[in-house]
Amino acid sequence: MTRGVPCGFPCAVPCAVLIALCTLAVATRTAAQVIDSAPTHPAVVRSIALDARLATDFGLRLGDTVRVSAAPGDTGAEPVVVSALLARRADPSEIARSEYRARVHLDQLQRLIGYGDRVDRFAIRTAGDSARGTLLDAVNTAAFGFRAWPSAEIAVRTSRTFQVVRRFHRAIGVITIVASAAFLLCILLLKIDERRRDVAALRMMGISAGTIVRSVVLEAGIIALLGSLAGVVFGVVVARIVNWHFQGVHRTTLAFTLVTPETIAFACVLSVVLGVVAGWLAARRLVGVPALTLLGR
Amino acid sequence: MTPLVQVRDLARDYSMGRGAVHALRGVSFDVEQGEWVAIVGPSGCGKSTLLNLLGAVDTPAAGSLTIAGERIDQLSDGAATAFRLRRIGFVFQRFYLMPALSAAENVELPMAEARLPRDARQSRVQELLGYVGLAERAGHRPSQLSGGEQQRVAIARALANRPALLLADEPTGELDAATGLEMIDLFRRLNRDGTTIIVVTHDAQMAAAAGRRIQMRDGAIVHGASA
Amino acid sequence: MPFRLAFLALLRHPARTMLALLGIAVSAALLLDMVMLASGMRENFQGFLLIRGYQLRVAPKGTLPFDSEATMDSATMLIRNILRIPGVSAVSPVLGAQSQTRVRDSTVTAFTLGIDPAVQGDYELLRGQDITDSASLVVNDSWLALTQYRIGDSVSLAVGYDPQLRTVLGQRTVVVRGAARFFYTGASQPTVAILLPVLQGMGGSARRDRVSLLMVKAAPGADAEVVRSRIQQVSARVSAISLEGATAQVEQRLAYFRQLALVLGSISLAVGVLLVTTLITIGVNERAGEIAVLRAIGVAKRSIVWQVVTEGLVLSGLGALSGLAIGLVTAQWLERILADFPGMPATFRFFVFQPRDAGIALGMLAAAGVLAGIYPSWRAASLPIAGTLRREAVA
């Protein structure tokens, strides 16, 4: 059953951001209350896998016994032994959530929360693609109130949040590139304009316009390449700082920013192209002016 | 009557590489109100250096310089600037008009700096451009004027704040012969109308038109120091 | 005259000036957008919560409203106890569930709200009538589009399914009375509203006298925080959340956007400042000869500095104004991208224009333009006049 979209609240927004997870989150409806860490009821004690952050924050260790109940202060709390610690996945949709996660045995959770013989979802492994297709059709036409999806489609649907973030970042990138391109063109124009007298002298000596344009373009390309390499180094350093900061804040191993070979190649190529184009435009402008005019006569 | 300009043992040195160049070596002379003095001499004799000192755009290494009763060599930078604005008119060989401004606006520039009221500025601009024969070219930019016309505008600009002294550095240096003659006529008219002029020139005709010549060589006056 | 000289100096190199203006404008636009993102979210979020004036929310203990499927029991008594608290003027109960409507051979699932129309704070009626009886249904346009029903049609609504018996549960025939804009759900999310007791009844014993959320309105003049703490004392099984508390929670979860806004905003400002500074510095250096001439004819240093500062101010000022226009357009573009977040409430805005914040941001850029001109112009105006003239003559 698809979890409903929240309304009325603050959670509307974070859930909007993290909605993908709603359908994948482990149903965590119990509030784990730590009463003691002494083992009790050896015959009936089940095990629990606790969020590692919860264990760290409350000083719990493997082997400790805690009590779980459906609601705070419930008398029906059951003892469970911490048998595993869960490391939070490096999943962007999870890291912003501060609540702890735990895993208990299905039948125990059903009993604790009075859920009866119900689940929120289940996964099915089928024997091959054709069987999958047949099963999907059968479930979706016969059932009322829930749907079946292939896991791949779940991945697509739940990645919609990240696709939105990706588009957002791309849009910011486009705006930044436009500003940078204007900046680069302007600076190169300025620098080349500064050498108008040199260019005039070269023209008067007989150096062709083509030679001058080529040398300016080469210079602009080299400057752009060196600048982009410096930018790559800067970007790598900043990426490391960003990852270090956010990994510490969110207690995760998720890499928040990645500088990949493709990113580097794109940045360098774009910079060089912009630089070459800017240099060519500026040089063409300058060689198009008569030498004497460049000298101010 | 006290001379307008009194120069006593003026000296100026420039350090160039290993040694110092003595551009001026103890120059002394006076210029009376209403005189037209031409300073002549070979290239590098210190003519332009002397003119720059007279115009308070440079500071002497030694000596004293008094113009209209003020010790120019002792002025602060700000005071020298103010002095140039109100008491000196400068005409350059290369005109040095503001290329983005029209002829009228170039002439108006020193008056705007002197905070003259707008009406007063505009009427003075018309008067000056009429005086130099460019009333109908007031709205033209320097790039739209000939060399001679640009120099006339530069002269009008130099006269904007009714200076006590007009200094000109090779005013005909960039002009052809015919235009140069026109410029000499203009200078003659200015002097006749009471303007004290000191001009540095290589132009023999300009030098001949002046009332007095000061000959310089190797940073010193060799002839004409006294009137 | 200084303004005219500054303006003309900029016009002397139109290509250069236009490019610089473009660069500054885009930087200013990005700066504005980031300011709107950083400051607007908080303001918008609080406004978003206060659409109907309910300052407090009450949810099951330890959860945020609709963060889970948990509900609060004994809702009637809880509401009565809360209404008794001094300073409380209204309580709006809400129960959330999924409902299914069979449409030909498919099913449309809708988020369903059980509400009290007298005090509801979840929607604004656009067309038709509000809920008046137990057979009334108010829907949003997305539901109408998916189901192809119209106002006045009777529909069969169900809230559950027994897979063993293969029968629907809680089925009821209702009439679509009106169409509404639901504040807290996405525009594309099919949403319907029905009387609270009806939805509770349709859910059987599992939902009897249960609610997902209570929205509480404090009386005029009452301290919302005081009311919140009193509500908290009424029941230990609920969490009372104030506007500030909610905002803090959301800010924590959306901290990424604020930090991104801060970083990008800083970079934009730096780029804009750098561009203006570079342009002015190079422009001044180019005009060293002109500046020397101005000094020679008696123009004071401060006048020259003022002229160059004016150039910087004109450049950055025009750039900032252009950036304002561009920024408002790009904000709309970015808003449309972010609105695609699954389930994003239709009324929520990431980018909110606040004149004060925009003024500060763009003012910083303009001020930078002013400062950019001071040092290079002072330096150029301080060069030896004679030497500079000679150098320019030789050059």
Check CB contact of C251 with chain B, cutoff 8 Å: no
By CA distance, what is C300's nearest residue in B?
A: B81
Query: In angstroms, rounded to a whole number, what is the distance separating the alpha carbons of residues A11 and A3?
Result: 13
Give the pLDDT score at A143.
Answer: 61
C-alpha–C-alpha distance, residues A109 and A29, integer Å = 8
Q: Which helix (H) or strand (E) holds A190?
A: helix A160-194
Percent of chain B, pLDDT > 90?
70
What integer best gives the mean pLDDT of chain B? 91
C41 vs A47, residue with greater confidence: A47
Report the pLDDT averaged over residues B120-138. Answer: 94
Judged by average pLDDT, the poorest of A182-196, A215-229, B81-95, C281-295 is: A182-196
Write down the pLDDT at residue A144.
Answer: 59
Closest by Cβ to A96, choosing from C184, C253, C268: C253
- Give the strand pairing for A46-51 and C172-182: unpaired
Query: Is the pLDDT confidence value at A169 over 60?
Result: yes
For chain C, helix (H) and strand (E) counts, in that order, are: 12, 12
Give the residue from chain C lying closest to A7, CA to CA. C184
Question: CA C260, CA B62: separation in Å to the nearest integer?
Answer: 64
Contact A112, A30 (CB under 8 A): yes
Contact list in A for residue C395 (CB cut-off 8 A) is: 197
pLDDT of residue B146: 93
d(CA C28, CA B199): 53
**Which of A7, A185, A241 would you mutate first to test chain C, the one with the most C CBs within 10 A?**
A7
Residue C35's alpha-carbon distances to B47, C26, C262, C373, in angstroms, are 62, 14, 8, 26
The secondary structure of chain B as a DSSP string is ---SEEEEEEEEEEEETTEEEEEEEEEEEEE-TT-EEEEE-STTSSHHHHHHHHTTSS--SEEEEEETTEEGGG--HHHHHHHHHHHEEEE-TT----TTS-HHHHHHHHHHHTT--HHHHHHHHHHHHHHTT-GGGTT--GGGS-HHHHHHHHHHHHTTT--SEEEEESTTTTS-HHHHHHHHHHHHHHHHTT-EEEEE-S-HHHHHHSSEEEEEETTEEEE-S--
Mean pLDDT to the nearest integer, C329-358? 84
Selected residue with higher pLDDT from C286 and A236: A236
Query: Which among B177, B103, B183 is positioned nearest to B143, based on CA atoms?
Result: B103
- pLDDT per residue over C85-94, tens digit each? 999 999 999 9
**Pairwise CB contact (< 8 Å): C298 & B113:** yes
Q: How far apart are CA B215 and CA B58, in angstroms?
A: 21
Tell me the pLDDT tens digit for each residue of C187-245.
788 999 999 999 999 987 778 899 999 999 999 998 989 999 999 888 888 889 988 88
Average pLDDT over residues A100-119: 86
Cβ-based neighbours of A262, under 8 Å, separated by 6 or more: none
Confidence bin at B14 (pLDDT 50/70/90): confident
Cα maximum dimension of chain B? 55
Which residues of chain A neighbour C183 with C-beta distances below 8 Å? 7-8
Distance CA C33, CA C379 (A): 36
Beta strands in chain C (DSSP E): 56-60, 88-103, 106-115, 123-128, 136-139, 154-158, 160-162, 167-169, 172-182, 191-195, 213-218, 238-241
Residues sharing a CB contact under 8 Å with residue A35, sequence separation 6 or more, in sequence order: A66, A67, A77
Copy the structure tokens of residue B39: 């300073």
Read off the pLDDT of each residue in B152-161 and give the average, rounded to a whole number: 94
Residue B142, number of CB atoms within 10 A of its CB: 19
How many other C-beta atoms can be found within 10 angstroms of the C-beta atom of residue B124?
A: 19
**What average pLDDT does the segment B57-73 reach?**
91
pLDDT reported for residue A8: 34
- pLDDT per position as a tens digit, B164-187: 999 999 999 888 999 999 999 999
- Residue C155 · residue C174 · CB < 8 Å: yes
pLDDT at position A26, please? 31
| Contact: A194, C286; criterion CB under 8 Å | yes
Strand order in the sheet with A31-33: A31-33, A65-69, A78-86, A46-51, A102-104
HEC secondary structure over B184-226: HHHHHHHHHCCCEEEEECCCHHHHHHCCEEEEEECCEEEECCC
Cβ within 8 Å of residue A91, ≥6 positions away? A21, A254
What's the mean pLDDT in C56-72? 83
**Mean pLDDT of the region C352-372:** 84
Task: Pick from A2-16, A22-36, C87-101 the range whose average pLDDT is largest.
Answer: C87-101
pLDDT at B170: 92
Nearest CA in chain C to A295: C395
User: Who contacts C47 (Cβ-Cβ below 8 Å, separation ≥6)?
Assistant: none
Q: Residue C66 region, left (φ>0) first, then alpha (ψ -120 to 50), else beta? A: left
* Predicted pLDDT at C325: 93
B225 pLDDT tier (thresholds 50, 70, 90): confident
Instruction: Give the three-class secondary structure for A295.
Output: coil
Q: For residue A186, what pLDDT is reported?
A: 83
**C-beta neighbour count of C89 within 10 angstroms:** 15
User: C33 is written with which tokens?
Assistant: 């957008």
Which member of C12, C300, C385 has the closest CB to residue B100?
A: C12
Contact C298 B55 (CB under 8 A): no
Q: Quick check: C298 and B52 CB within 8 A?
A: no
Distance from CA of A278 to the nearest CA of C (A): 11
Q: Which of C8, C9, C303 sits opposite B113 (nearest CB)?
A: C303
C-beta separation of C64 from C212 below 8 A: no
The answer for residues whose C-beta is within 8 angstroms of residue A196's C-beta and 6 or more apart is A286, A289, A294
User: In this complex, is the C-beta atom of B110 within 8 Å of any C-beta atom belonging to chain C?
Assistant: yes
Taking an 8 Å cut-off on Cβ atoms, the answer to whether B92 and C293 are in contact is: yes
User: What is the per-residue pLDDT for A290?
Assistant: 78
Contacts of A244 (CB under 8 A, 6+ apart): none
Mean pLDDT of the B128-142 span: 94
Looking at residue B199, its pLDDT comes to 96
Cβ of C297 and B108 within 8 Å? Answer: no
ipTM for this model: 0.81
The region that residue C285 occupies, defined by phi over 0 for left and psi between -120 and 50 for alpha, beta otherwise, is alpha
Q: How far apart are CA C251 and CA C258, in angstroms?
A: 8
pLDDT score, position B100: 83
Per-residue confidence at A11, pLDDT binned at 50, 70, 90?
very low
Q: Which of B84, B98, B161 sits opposite C296 (nearest CB)?
A: B84
Q: Which residues pair with B79 in a beta bridge?
A: none
CA C272 to chain centre: 25
Percent of chain C with pLDDT over 70: 96
| pLDDT classification of A92: cutoffs 50, 70, 90 | low
Q: Which of A140-144, A153-157, A281-285, C38-42 has the lowest mean pLDDT?
A: A140-144
**pLDDT over 90, % of chain C:** 36
- Smallest Cβ–Cβ distance between B98 and the set C290, C385, C390 belongs to C290
Give chain C's mean pLDDT: 86
Which subunits count as partners of chain B given 3+ CB pairs below 8 Å? C
pLDDT computed for residue C94 by the predictor = 95
Task: Name the pTM for this structure.
Answer: 0.73
How would residue A145 be classed by pLDDT, with cut points 50, 70 and 90?
A: low
State the pLDDT confidence band at A297, using cuts at 50, 70 and 90. Answer: low
pLDDT at residue A33 greater than cutoff 60 = no
Please give the residue of chain C at the shortest CA–CA distance from B99.
Answer: C12
- Split at pLDDT 50, 70, 90, the class of C166 is low
Size of interface B-C (CB pairs under 8 A): 76
pLDDT recorded at residue C58: 93
